[in-house]
Structure 1
Amino acid sequence: MLMALTLRLTLTQITLELTRSLASMLTLIAMLLRSPQVRCLPLTFMIILFLLSTVHYLKK
């Protein structure tokens, strides 16, 4: 019982950390998109894809 509760708390903590890092990543992406260099667009898409795959992997 305690183990399951601890696991659930850990998962919630991980989710919160991911959400926080996702928010900071989105802020970074927004800053990148506002910059005049369009050559950083592929990097932005790579970051987005990486984040999506991470979230998808954690949902399994």
Structure 2
Amino acid sequence: MAIGPEPMVRDDIKQGLLAAPYGFRTTPVDYVILSLELPVRNKDMKVFIEWISDKLKLPNDAA
């Protein structure tokens, strides 16, 4: 048994590696990235933010 956000386990569910027999619930939780540097000044931070933002998008999210 595990608890995890749907965007992070979606691929594993599609592949049959995980199951969500009770579905998913919407919660008031937000994810944030905190940094002392602006992403425009730190290429690695910018790449990470773009990557994680893409991974956490739901299929019906507007880009």
- For normalisation by structure 2, the TM-score amounts to 0.40
**Structure with greater Cα Rg:** 1
Greater helix content = 1
- For normalisation by structure 1, the TM-score amounts to 0.41
More relative contact order, 1 or 2 (CA 8 Å, 6+ apart): 2
